[in-house]
Structure 1
Amino acid sequence: MIRINELWKIYDTGKIKVPALRGIDLTIEKGDFIAIIGASGSGKSTLMNILGCLDRPTKGKYVLDDVQTETLKDEEFAQIRNKKIGFVFQSFNLISRTSALKNVELPLIYGKVDSKKRHELSKKALERVGLLDRIDHKPNELSGGQKQRVAIARALVSNPSIILADEPTGNLDSKSTEEIIRIFKDLNNEGATIIIVTHEHEIADQAKRIVTFRDGNIISDERKIDILEKI
């Protein structure tokens, strides 16, 4: 599903060039559940932005579903992002003045899906995360865990190839964190490819595969079965 080869991202400040990613290689299969972990400044968020087609690499290859993304024009780049990737952010990124249902409908509005189908698909997505009884509630009427569940419903409503989550439990208490991780596990068991970017080892341990970053390099890439065999 994803193939990255010799990927570099270098930020040019004008005076100095700062490499955030240093020629990394990474392959992600359909149905993977991966945690990308590392300290601040390790390169994991830069990689997330590139995986999510929010940014482009300085050099190297990023192939998503057999599409070589670095050759795409801006409009094509946006289209692949909207169709193939669902995003979940630490800060939820919900529109405060509108309902949970309307928030979930947003990707479908951008995709020009008609209103009746948008409504049906959004209700189904909210039902999948256990919030069918909260469809008319605005974000300020929801708990932190419920807000994140709305964000997950929005991420999966257009049936993307990948759900990409950036510190999705960073603003949540332990109970809400458990609920969110359970939802990700259920979605993965149903066939979704999940990539979580985190600095928390407790969250990374819930994934099937852990990729660790340091100073723009991948220093380890282990599946859970390999980790367990070392214990």
Structure 2
Amino acid sequence: RPVGESTDCVLLGEPLPSRMCTAPVTINTKRTVGCPATADPRTLMAEDPCVDELFPNKTRLNQYWICPNDKDENGSVIYYIVRVVMFDGTRKTFFDSQWSWLRYDAAHNSWFYFYNENDVGYKHFIVGASCAIASATKCPCAPIAPAMMPGRSAYPIIPDKKGACPAQPAGLLLYITWGDWYANDVRVQNHGLEMYLTCKAGAWMFYRADNHYNL
């Protein structure tokens, strides 16, 4: 009970002997040395609800172009994506290009997805990774917001069509990517008539020829 600026203790009953709880309990501790080697990330990809098919056997480690340059039975290029499992268990969609690869970081005992273009890039530590093919059917993308530039008129992007920008009036393709490197970075492209925008496993992707651009 409070007494002025001090506190008095009040005994509410006779003292009881100390007791110990004998119920079993598991307490996890973090180990920083002597950790087992991290498994091959391609072996840790369980069934993915957002993709049509995973291709761990085609996923390449320690080299650019994580996925192969395959073609379907009609001779069209197969546009793979890279699906990864993060350390918190969430899944993300990354793009595959000549600037992306999967590498191992011995200091962190972890694999990571790495994107590097012109000596500037970003990386995400991952648990699992695999090449995959996907569409927008299983995991649709959120509506894409228009990118605005002062003094310019904005026109809607045309999804799933070669020529993401309308032919008339001809203009520049302006987009903002979500990757760490491109955070808040506006990139202006003059090949809007050659690129197309499509949704794959919850992520918007720009494609131009055989190059992939993640939005």
Shared topology, TM-score over 0.5? Answer: no
Q: Per residue, is there more helix in 1 or in 2?
A: 1
Normalised TM-score (structure 2): 0.26
Structure ID, larger Rg:
2
Q: Which has the higher contact order (CA 8 A, sep 6+)?
A: 1
Normalised TM-score (structure 1): 0.25
